Structure 1
Amino acid sequence: MKIKELSRRLPASGVSCLLGLAVCACGGGDATPTTANEVATMKAVAAVSLPTTYSIVNLATSGWASPNGINSTGQVAFRDFISPEHAKFYDGTTVQDLGTLGGLASMSQVVNNSGQVAGSFVTQLDAYHAFLWSQASGMLDIDTFASRFSFPTGLSNTGQVVGQGVSNAFSWTQAGGMIDLGTLGGGTYSIAYAVNDLGQVVGASTNASGDYRAFKWTTAGGMVDLGTLGGPWAFAIGVNNSGLVAGYSSTANLPHAFAWTQQGGMIDLGATGQAFATAVGDGGHIVGYHYPPTGPYLRGFVWTSATGLTEVGTGNVAVMRAVNKNGHVAGSDYDSNGTPHATVWTQQDGLIDLNTRIPGAPPGLVLYEGTAISDNGSIVATSNVGLLLLKPGVVSNAAPVVGPIAGNDPVAIGSPVTVSVNFSDSDSSDTHTATWAWDDGSAAMAGAVSESNGAGSVTGSHTYGAAGVYTVSMTVSDNTGRSSTVSRNVVVYDPTAGFVTGGGWIMSPAGAYKNDATLAGRANFAFVSKYKKGATTPTGNTEFQFQAAKLNFHSENYDWLVVAGARAQYKGSGTINGTGDYSFLLTAVDGNLVAKGTPDRFRIKIWHYDADAKADVVDYDNQLSSSSDGTVNEGTVIGGGSIVVQKN
C-alpha cells in the first residue's frame, strides 16, 4: 500500500479519495458511555429532528466538497472542476470565485465557522501552495517554506491550518507561520489530516520500521504515537473538539476502524469485515463504511460510545461520508438497480432518501451522494447536474433551480442538436428568461421558455459548422436577477471527415500513472479510428502499454470520433491487463498539419467508475496540466513513430 505516493495525489483527487485508499476491517466489542456528559449529549442529539423538505441551490456544474467543506451556518468551500479548476465559496447567498493568486488553478478544501477557507493554488511553476482565504483579506499564500507542494486538510475555528507538505505534516497559524510537525522517532514522512479548536492535530507518520502510525500532535506535547489495534500500522483521520479521534488500524491480518481517547486509548469500533472511518462529529459520532464478511456489498455505519455500532444501508452499497454535531449523517445508498441515492440518517429517523425530500426539484434531477452536512442541517450533494446545496425548508427569494440538459447527440455535422431543460422556482410568482451558450463562437441564444406557477422548461436548437466536443450551457434567470447555470457536453461528428491512425512511443511522465506517481518511462501506443460508410459510431483498435506500471490497455468499443484540423479525438471503453471496465479518451495531433516539422503529440486518459467513491477515478493520464486542453499542444510529444490525421 503506497500511501505516501498516493497521498501526493490529493490536489487531483481530493481528500475523500485518500480516505478510500485503505481497505479497512473491523471486529470487536462495543464501548459503553464513559461520562454522564456523553449520555446527556446523546439525549440532546436525539431531540434534533430532520427537515421534512429541502430547497436546492446550484453550486457548480461539476465539483466536490469534502466533509469539512461546510461550516455550521451552511457556507460551503468547494472545488469547481471546470477547467482550469478554481476554488469556490458559497457565502450563503452567492457563489464567489476565490481566484488563483496569479497561478494556473486553485482548489478549496475546508472552511471554518468564521468563513475562512483553506486550500491550494497551482503556481506558474506547477507547484502546489497552501492558501488561506477570508472575505476581508482575500487569498494569502501561507507556504512560507516556498516548497513544491503543500495541501491543507484541516482548518480550525481559531484559524489553524494543517495538512500535507512535500515531506512532512505542517501546521500554520497567523502568529507562528508554518511549522514542520516532524515524524515519529526514526520516521521519514508524515501527513496531518485534521485539527480541532484545541490545537490537537491528528494524522499518520512513518516510524523507524517504515510503518505508518496514527499520531496526535500538540504544541506542548509534540507528536505522540496513538498505537494500533495489534497490527503494524494505523491512520488517524479526524478529531472532534472533545479530543475523540477516529481512524483505522491494522490488526493481525486486516485494518479495523477505531476510536481513541486520552482516557481509554484505542478501541475497535466493532464493525465486521473490512471497515474504515470517514468522519467524526462534535456529538461523539464516528461514521464510515465496512465490508461485511457475508458481503457482497459495503455498508455504512455510525458509532457512538453510548449506542455502539449501528449498520446503515438497505442491503446494497452504502457509504456514510459526514456527520454534524446533532448526529445527522450524510452519505449514499444504492438501489437494487445500482443507482446511488443521496441519503441522510439519524438514530430516530433511520435512513432517508433525500430525493424524497426535495418536492420543488425540477423533473429529471437526481441526488447521488451527500458529501458534507452542517450543524444547521444544510447538506452538500452530488447530482446529475453537478454540485448542489440542500437548505432546510422552503427558501424564498432564491435563484431558480435547473435540472439536467437533455439532448439528441451525438449527431452528424449539419444535423441540429436539440436540447431541453426543466427548472423550478420556490417563488411561484417569478417570471423567467433563459439563455443557451453553444461553445462554438456563435452568439448566445435566448431559449424558448414555457412556465406556470414557478415551474417550466426551456428548449433550444443549434447546428454546428464543424465536428467537435462542445460544452452547451443553459442559464435560467428570474425577474429579480437571480440565476442558475447547468451545462453538458455534446458531440458533433463528421462521418466523412477522415480517420486517425498512429504508432510509436512517448516518454510517460512521473505522475501520469495515478497508482504510483513516481513511475516514469517509455510507453508504447498503436491505434486507428475511423467511420465506416453509413456508420454512426467509429471502429478501430487502440493499444497502449506502459511497462513500468505493468499497464496494458486494449480498446473494446468506440463511442465517437471527432477530426478537426490537425487534431483528432475519440472516446471509447476497454480493459487493462485483460480485465475491468475502463473508459478512455485519446487525443492525437498530426504535427505536419500544424506546421511542417512540428512534432506529433499523443494523449490518452483512462479512468473507471469507483462504486465506493461514487465517482470517476483516473487511472492514467499523460497530460498533467489542463492549460493546453483542446489545443494542438495537448498531450506529450512522441519520442518515435508517427501520427496521421487524414481528412477526406
Structure 2
Amino acid sequence: MANRSQWTLASRAGTRACLGMLAALALGNSAWAAPDPAAASGTTYRVINLGPGDPVGAYINASGQVAFSITADRDSPPRTIFYDGTGFQDIGTLGGDFARPTALSNSGVVAGQSYNGAHLVRSFVWSRARGMLDLGAIPGNNETWEPAMNNKGVVAGYSTGPAFQYAHAYRWSYSTGIEDLGAFTSGPDSVSQATAINDAGVIAGTSMTPAFDYHAFAWTRATGLVDIDTLGTRYSAPVAVGASGQVAGNYFPASANGRVFIWTRAEGMRDIGSLGFDGAWMNSMSANGQITGVLASDTAYNKGMTWTRESGLINLGTFGGDVSSAVAANTKGQVVGGAATRDDFHAYVWTARTGKIDLNKRLRKPPAGLVLSAGIAISDNGSIVATSNAGLVLLVPVCGCPGTPALGPVNGPDMVQAGTIFDATLAFSADNTASHHLTWSWGDGSGSQAGAVRADPGGGNGTGQHVYTRPGIYTVTAQVSDVAGRTVAVSRKVVVHDGAGTTVGAGGFIAGQVPHKGGQLVPGKANFQFLAPRAQSALPGQLDFQAGTLNFRSRVLRPAGAAGQYAGNGQLNGKAGYQFLMQTVNGRFGLKIWHHDPASKAQVIDYDNLGNGSTLVEGKISAL
C-alpha cells in the first residue's frame, strides 16, 4: 500500500469560501469566451507558497486544485503533492522512492509515474476515494510511461519491456484495464507512443511508418490507429487533443527547424505559421483550441506566441529583454508564461484585450524580495501556478478571504566558507498581526532551530544564524506558522566551501531553451550551484542545476581536460544514469547533460548550452 501523509497549510473554512467565489467566476464549459477586460486588467492575486524546493512538474484543474512535484533537498527524490484548496497531501508512491504527476482531472484524479518496489517505472492514477492504483503494463512488458488523462479518468501512454524492442501506445480505463493500441507496422521493431487524450476518448500520438518516418496518429475505438500526417513529414508528434477532436503538435519538415501543426478531420494537417521566424514550437493547447508556445530563431531570440483559429498567430514579445515563452492557456483566453526584462525574467498573464501584464505588479501584499519568474499553468477560474525565487507558488485572484502567510525568498550569501557564520533573513506577509513562529532547518543534519521574528503591520521579518562544518551544497528551509496553525515553508541553497584552492559557483542566467513538461523547450531562467574542491581534497565535487522542469544533481564532479572543465554523473529528476560536462570560463556557465537510450544505445542529449556558455544575470563563479 502506498504511504500517504497529510498536513494542512490553510484555513479550511476561509479557503473553502474563497474557492466558492472562484468557482462562481468559472463558466464551466469549453466554449470560447472572451474575458471581461475590466476584470482582467484589475485582477490582483494572493500568494500561496506550494512548497520549498525545485519544481519538477505542476498541473491545475478548472477549480484551482493543483498536483505538483518538487525536489525538496539534495537527497530526496521527487514526490507528488496534491493541493485541494485547503490542505496538502503527499499521495505516496507505488513502492519506490519517486512519484511525478503528469495530469490532473477536474474531479481531482491525479495521473503520473512512479517507481514500484522492483524499481520499475509504472504509470498510476490516484484519487482520495481509491488511493494509488498501478496501471500495469501491456502483456509481456513491465514498464509504463508518461500517462495523459482526460476528465473521465481514461489514460493513454506508452509501455516498454521484453515483449517489444521499442515502446507501444496503450489505453487504460477502470472498466477495460490496459490495452495495446498497436502501431503502423507489426513485429518486434514496431513503435508507437500515445501522448494526448480528450474527454471524448480521442487519443493522439506518434508511430513509426514502414518508411521509418514517425507520423502523428489519431485513435478511436471505431477507427483504430489512423495516420493523420497529411503533410508527409519525417517526424510529427501531437501535444494535445481539443474538445472538438482537433489535434495539435510539433513536426519537422525536410529542414531542421521544428514547426507547429493543427489537424482536423475536415482540413487535415496544416502549419500554423511562424511570423517570419525560423520555426515554432508548441507547449500546450487549451480544450477550446488556443495554442501556446514559442517562435524560434536561429540567429536572434525566441519569443512567446499564441494561436487561435479566430486570431491567428500572435507574437507576445518581452518586457524589454531578449526572450519570452508562452506556456499555457485556459478556456477564457488567458495565457501565462515568462518574459525577459532588461536584467531578469518575469511571469506574466496575457489576454487579447489587456496584452501582457507582469504578475509581479499584481500581487496583494507581497512579501519583500519575492520575484515571480514564469507562469506555468492556469485554471479556468484564473488561478495561476508560477515559479519564483521562493519556490513554486499558487496565485489566487483576491476574494477577501483569509489565507496562509506568504513568504518571500530566504536571503543570505550564495557561498560561505565552512566554519564561518551564515546569516539568513526572511520577509513574510500575513492577513493579521497575530504572532508568528519561525523555524530554520539548515540541511546538514543539525536539526531544527527557532528563529527570531519581528512583527510588522501585515507581516514580519525573521532571522537566523548557522555555522556549517563541512563543504557541500545544502538546502536551507524556513517554516513560518501563525496562531491558527497555518504553516508554510520556503527554501534556498547555499554552497559551503573550504577556502583556497576551491572553485565555487552559484547564480542564474536567462536560457534560450529550458525543458518544460512533456519534452517541450521554452525560454526561461536557469539556476546552478557547484563546488569543485582542490585536486588533493578527499571530498568529491557537487553540482545542482535547475532549468524549467529539469532538475539535475551530481555528487561526483571531477576535473576534465582543459582548465574550467568538469565532468561526472548524476540524477535527472530523481533518476540515475546521466552524465555531464560542465564548463566555467570567463565567468560564464555551460553545461551538457546526456544519457544513452536503453534500447538503441544512442546518445540522447537532455540539456546543452555548453558552446560558449551563458552570461550570468545573478550570482558569480569564483576560483578561491
TM over 0.5: yes
CA distance in 1, matches of 2:308, 2:544: 46
CA distance in 2, matches of 1:408, 1:565: 24
- The aligned residue for residue 381 of structure 1 is 386
Distance 1:399 1:135, change over 3 A: same
Tell me which amino acid in the other structure corresponds to 1:80: I
- Residues 41-78 of structure 1, C-alpha deviation per residue, up to 9 Å, x if partnerless? 556456694262111111122343657x1110011111
- The aligned residue for residue 440 of structure 1 is 444
User: Which of residues 263, 270, 273 in structure 2 aligns to 1:270?
Assistant: 273
Q: What stretches of structure 2 of length at least 5 have no aligned partner? A: 1-29, 161-166, 506-528, 546-551, 559-567, 571-578, 584-588, 599-624
| Contact preservation (8 Å) 1:283, 1:327 | no
How do 1:27-42 residues align onto structure 2 when only pairs under 5 Å count?
Answer: 41-42=31-32
TM-score, normalised on structure 1? Answer: 0.71
Tell me which amino acid in the other structure corresponds to 2:77: P
CA distance in 1, matches of 2:346, 2:267: 37
| Contact preservation (8 Å) 2:219, 2:226 | yes
- The aligned residue for residue 283 of structure 1 is 288
| Contact preservation (8 Å) 1:79, 1:107 | yes
CA distance in 2, matches of 1:165, 1:386: 33
CA distance in 1, matches of 2:109, 2:67: 9
- The aligned residue for residue 432 of structure 2 is 428
Query: 1:327, CA displacement in angstroms?
Result: 1.1
User: Which of residues 529, 533, 542 in structure 2 aligns to 1:561?
Assistant: 533
2:483 aligned with 1:483: no
CA distance in 2, matches of 1:75, 1:403: 22
- Residues 401-456 of structure 1, C-alpha deviation per residue, up to 9 Å, x if partnerless? 1111112353333211111111111x133321101112333342211111212221
CA distance in 2, matches of 1:616, 1:471: 23
CA distance in 2, matches of 1:407, 1:563: 28
How do 1:592-631 residues align onto structure 2 when only pairs under 5 Å count?
Answer: 603=569, 606=580, 619-620=593-594
Distance 1:248 1:369, change over 3 A: same
User: Which of residues 310, 315, 325 in structure 1 aligns to 2:331?
Assistant: 325
Distance 1:70 1:48, change over 3 A: farther
- The aligned residue for residue 398 of structure 2 is 393
CA distance in 2, matches of 1:138, 1:563: 50
- The aligned residue for residue 75 of structure 1 is 65
Secondary structure of the 1:79 match is strand
Query: 1:219, CA displacement in angstroms?
Result: 1.2
CA distance in 2, matches of 1:309, 1:538: 44
| Contact preservation (8 Å) 1:230, 1:252 | no
Query: 1:571, CA displacement in angstroms?
Result: 5.3
CA distance in 1, matches of 2:85, 2:260: 35
User: Which of residues 433, 439, 462 in structure 2 aligns to 1:458?
Assistant: 462
2:239 aligned with 1:242: no
- The aligned residue for residue 82 of structure 2 is 89
User: Which of residues 321, 336, 361 in structure 2 aligns to 1:356?
Assistant: 361
Secondary structure of the 2:540 match is strand
Query: 1:88, CA displacement in angstroms?
Result: 1.2
2:51 aligned with 1:60: yes
User: Which of residues 398, 407, 410 in structure 1 aligns to 2:412?
Assistant: 407
Query: 1:196, CA displacement in angstroms?
Result: 0.6
2:159 aligned with 1:152: no
Tell me which amino acid in the other structure corresponds to 1:456: G
Secondary structure of the 1:355 match is helix
| Contact preservation (8 Å) 1:244, 1:259 | yes
Query: 1:461, CA displacement in angstroms?
Result: 0.7
TM-score, normalised on structure 2? Answer: 0.74
| Contact preservation (8 Å) 2:473, 2:531 | no
Distance 1:434 1:250, change over 3 A: same
| Contact preservation (8 Å) 1:56, 1:390 | yes
2:556 aligned with 1:587: yes
User: Which of residues 253, 259, 264 in structure 1 aligns to 2:262?
Assistant: 259
Distance 1:41 1:468, change over 3 A: closer
Tell me which amino acid in the other structure corresponds to 1:321: V
CA distance in 1, matches of 2:289, 2:544: 46
Deviates more, 1:348-357 or 1:77-86: 77-86
Secondary structure of the 1:181 match is strand
Secondary structure of the 1:104 match is strand
- The aligned residue for residue 179 of structure 1 is 179
Which structure: larger Rg?
1
Distance 1:607 1:488, change over 3 A: farther
Tell me which amino acid in the other structure corresponds to 1:255: G
2:159 aligned with 1:165: yes
- Residues 586-627 of structure 1, C-alpha deviation per residue, up to 9 Å, x if partnerless? 5379xxxxxxxxxxxx75663779xxxxx99860489x9xxx
Secondary structure of the 1:408 match is coil
Query: 1:572, CA displacement in angstroms?
Result: 10
Distance 1:468 1:562, change over 3 A: farther
- Residues 543-563 of structure 1, C-alpha deviation per residue, up to 9 Å, x if partnerless? xxxxxxxxxxxxxx9855399
Give me the CA root mean square deviation: 3.2
Distance 1:486 1:285, change over 3 A: same
CA distance in 2, matches of 1:400, 1:45: 30
Higher strand share: 2
Distance 1:43 1:470, change over 3 A: closer
Distance 1:608 1:299, change over 3 A: farther
Query: 1:269, CA displacement in angstroms?
Result: 0.9
Query: 1:240, CA displacement in angstroms?
Result: 1.3
Q: How many residues align?
A: 500
CA distance in 2, matches of 1:389, 1:380: 5
CA distance in 2, matches of 1:311, 1:413: 49
| Contact preservation (8 Å) 1:493, 1:562 | no
How do 1:459-608 residues align onto structure 2 when only pairs under 5 Å count?
Answer: 459-495=463-499, 531-532=500-501, 537=503, 559=531, 561=533, 567-570=539-542, 587=556, 603=569, 606=580
Tell me which amino acid in the other structure corresponds to 2:168: N
Secondary structure of the 1:216 match is strand
Identity in percent: 37
Query: 1:359, CA displacement in angstroms?
Result: 3.4
How do 1:632-647 residues align onto structure 2 when only pairs under 5 Å count?
Answer: none
Tell me which amino acid in the other structure corresponds to 1:569: G
| Contact preservation (8 Å) 2:373, 2:389 | yes
